[in-house]
Structure 1
Amino acid sequence: MTSNTVLLLMASRCQPGAMSLTTRERSGAGLAVGAVCLVGGSVAAADRLHDFPLLGGQALRYTLATVLLLLWARLRRHTFVRPTRAQLTWIVPLAALGVAGYGVVLVHATSVTAPGNVGIALGAAPLVIVLVRAGATRTRPARTLTGGALCVAVGSVLAQLSTTGGVQWSVRGSMWSFLALAGVASVTLLGAPPIRELGALTVTTYACALGSAMLLTAALITGAVTGTPALRLPTTVEFSALAFLALAVTTVVFLLWYGAVERLGPSRAGLFNGLVPFASLLALFLTGAGTATSWQLAGAALVLFGVVVSLRPGERAGAAV
C-alpha cells in the first residue's frame, strides 16, 4: 500500500459531506506516513547489527546524524537558538530516552525476539501518547481519538498471534519490545513542547548531539571496565545498516516527524505510529529477514483502520496541541 493510497483512504474517511482534511493537515499526514515508513525499516536495519559494538555503534550513528543535520542547517542558513533551562528539561530527556535509549533498546530487542514482533509492538505508541497526554493535561481525549488508539493497540496485539493461533512472545522479548515502544512514544511526548519555540531542526540537532555524547561516554566507560573495544571497523552490511539508521531513520525521520507534529498535534500525529507494523513487515520481507503471517496482516489492517477513524475533522479541536 503506497503512501498516496493511505492518504486517499484517510481523506475519504474524513469527509462528512464536503468536509476534508485541510492542506496543512494533508501535508502533515504525508510527512507522518513518510516518517513511519522509515521507522519501520529501522527494525530490519537494527537486525543486522547484533554483532557490532552496541553503545559505540549507536554513538557513531548519532554522531553521523548530527554532522548531517549541521550540514543541512548550513545549507539552509539556519540559526541555532540557545535553549533555555526550561527547554532543556525537555531536550535532555528526549536525548536520553528517544535518541540514545531507543537506539540501544531497538538493536537489543531484535536480538532477543523476532524483529517483526518488535515492529508490531511499536504500533501501540498511539495509545500510550493519547493516555499520557490526557493524564498530563487532565483532559478527556476525543472519543474517536481514543477509539482509534484502542484499535491500533488491539491490532498490534492481534498481530503477535501466529498462523497456528499461538502467541509469539517471551517475557524477555516483550520487556525489550515495550522499552522500544516507550522510546518511540517519548520522541513525540518530549519533543512536541520545545519544537513549538525552537523548531524541528534545532531540537533534532541538539537531541542527536547530546544523545551521541551520552552513548560515547557509556561506550568508553563500559570498554574500560570490560576490556572490550568501543568500536571496530564495520562489515559492508553493518556499515550499510548504520548509514541507513543515521541518514534515513535519524536525520530524515526526525525532521519529517516533527513537521507532522507541528501540523497535526502530538496526539493525532502519534496515531501514525500505528502504520509502523505495515512498514516493518514490508521491510523485513524485502530484505529477506522475515515473512508476514495472516494474523500479522490482519492486525496491521486494524491498526490502519484505527488511524483513519481518528482523523475525522469533527475531532480536530480535541486533538489540538
Structure 2
Amino acid sequence: MNQLKGKLYLLCAFSLAGTSVVSARFVTGKLGNFTITAVSLFFALVFLVLLCGRQLIRCLSQMSFRDFGFLILQALCGIFLFRMFLLNGLRNTSAGEAGILTGATPAITAILAIAVLREPAGSRKVFGILCTVIGILVIQGVLTPGSGLDLKHMGGNMLVLCAAACESVFNTLSRISALRNSEESAMPSNPVSQTTIVTAIAMVLCLIPAAFEHPIKRLAAIDLLEWTALLWYGIFVTALAFICWYAGIKRCGAFTAAAFSGMMPFTSMLLSAALLGENADWRQWVGGFLIIIGMFLIGSKGTNITLPINRSIRLKEKHFQP
C-alpha cells in the first residue's frame, strides 16, 4: 500500500512537471530566464509558507549543515539549472520536441542509480537505456541521411537534454537524502517543508542575475496570459509537483522514479499539440515512441546482469519503510 501511494505521488509529480515546457513557452522571449524563474518561485514560496506554517520553523531547527547542503544541491540542480537549460533551449526548439527530449530523464536517472546508488540493473533496464539513446538520436536527425541538421536547433535540443540531466541528478540526490534520513532520522522528512526550503534557496540563487534583466520594466509589459503562466509555473509546476515528488521518493526506489519521470514528455507532447497547435514530424513520433518504450523497460522488472553492488545501500533500500 505504501508503494502504491508512492507511485501515485510520483505520477502526479511528473504529470505536473510536464506542464513546465508549455507554461514556459508563453513567457519565453518576453521575460528574462532568471526573471521567469524568480517570479514563479516567489508565487510558489508564498503558497508554501502559508501551507506549512510552523512546520517550517520546526524543520529548520532540527536540520544539520549536511541536510542543508543536500537541499542546496537539490535546489541548484532540480530548479535553478533545470529551468535555465530548459528556458534557453526553448528559444531554439519547439515545446513539443523539448517535451519529448525530457524523456531522457528516466535513462539518465537509471544510469545514476546504477553508478551512484549501486542499484542492481536488469537486462530490460539496460535495453531501455539504449532505446532512449537511439530515440534521442532519431529526434536529432543524426541517424537520418541527408536530414540537413540545423546546428542552432540541435543546440536548443542539447540544452533541453542538459535540463533532463539536471533533473536526473536531482532525483538521485533526493533518493540519497531519503535513504540517509530513514536510517539516521536526522531531519523530519516533511514534503511541504522540504519543498519550501528548496524553493527559497532556488529563488535566492535567481535574484541577483534576474536584477540584470530589467525585470520591472518587462513585467509591466506582459498581459494576463503571461501572469497566469507564471502563477501556474510557481504553484503547480513547483510547489505541488515538488510536494508530490518528496512524498513519492521516500516510498519508492530510484528506478521506479525513473520510470514515472517519463510522464514529463508524455504530458508535454499532449499539451503542446492541444494548446500550442504544434505538429510533430515522423522523426519526433519515432523518437518519442522509442523513448516511451525505454521508459517502460526501465520501470519494469528484468533479469539481473552482473554489476558491482554496494551491499550497504541495498540493505538500506530493503529496510526502508517510511
Give the alignment's TM-score, normalised by structure 1: 0.79
Q: 1:115 to 1:189 in 2, by over 3 A?
A: same
Distance across 1 between alignment mates of 2:233 and 2:150? 26
In the alignment, is residue 202 of structure 1 matched against residue 217 of structure 2?
no
Distance across 2 between alignment mates of 1:168 and 1:240? 36
Q: Secondary structure at the match of 2:53?
A: helix
Q: 1:291 to 1:80 in 2, by over 3 A?
A: same
Aligned residue in 1 for 2:309: none
- Asked whether the 8 Å contact 1:52–1:238 carries over to 2, the reply is no
Aligned residue in 1 for 2:155: 172
In the alignment, is residue 232 of structure 1 matched against residue 219 of structure 2?
yes
Deviates more, 1:247-256 or 1:97-106: 97-106
Q: 1:308 to 1:96 in 2, by over 3 A?
A: closer
Aligned residue in 2 for 1:116: 96
Q: Give the AA of the match of 1:94.
A: Q
Aligned residue in 2 for 1:62: 41
Aligned residue in 1 for 2:134: 154
Distance across 2 between alignment mates of 1:240 and 1:167? 38
Aligned alpha-carbon RMSD (Å)? 3.1
Q: Give the AA of the match of 1:232.
A: L
- Asked whether the 8 Å contact 1:192–1:258 carries over to 2, the reply is no
Q: Give the AA of the match of 1:272.
A: F
In the alignment, is residue 97 of structure 1 matched against residue 97 of structure 2?
no
Q: Give the AA of the match of 1:203.
A: Q
State the shift of 1:264 in Å. Answer: 1.8
Aligned residue in 1 for 2:30: 51
Aligned residue in 2 for 1:80: 59
Distance across 1 between alignment mates of 2:177 and 2:315? 21
Distance across 1 between alignment mates of 2:22 and 2:174? 25
Q: Secondary structure at the match of 1:232?
A: helix
Number of matched pairs? 293
Distance across 2 between alignment mates of 1:31 and 1:137? 22
Aligned residue in 1 for 2:4: 26
Deviates more, 1:65-74 or 1:140-149: 140-149
- Asked whether the 8 Å contact 2:258–2:298 carries over to 1, the reply is no
Aligned residue in 1 for 2:205: 214
Q: Give the AA of the match of 1:202.
A: S
Q: Give the AA of the match of 1:190.
A: L
Aligned residue in 1 for 2:165: 182
Distance across 1 between alignment mates of 2:72 and 2:18? 25
Deviates more, 1:245-254 or 1:180-189: 180-189
State the shift of 1:168 in Å. Answer: 6.7
Q: 1:183 to 1:289 in 2, by over 3 A?
A: farther
Q: Secondary structure at the match of 2:121?
A: coil
Q: 1:129 to 1:38 in 2, by over 3 A?
A: same
Distance across 2 between alignment mates of 1:104 and 1:52? 13
State the shift of 1:43 in Å. Answer: 0.6
- Asked whether the 8 Å contact 1:275–1:303 carries over to 2, the reply is no
State the shift of 1:48 in Å. Answer: 1.1
Q: 1:229 to 1:112 in 2, by over 3 A?
A: same
- Asked whether the 8 Å contact 2:128–2:293 carries over to 1, the reply is yes
Distance across 1 between alignment mates of 2:196 and 2:45? 6
In the alignment, is residue 276 of structure 1 matched against residue 276 of structure 2?
no
Q: Give the AA of the match of 2:156.
A: G
Q: Secondary structure at the match of 2:59?
A: coil
Distance across 2 between alignment mates of 1:245 and 1:181? 17
Distance across 1 between alignment mates of 2:178 and 2:270? 31
Deviates more, 1:245-254 or 1:46-55: 46-55
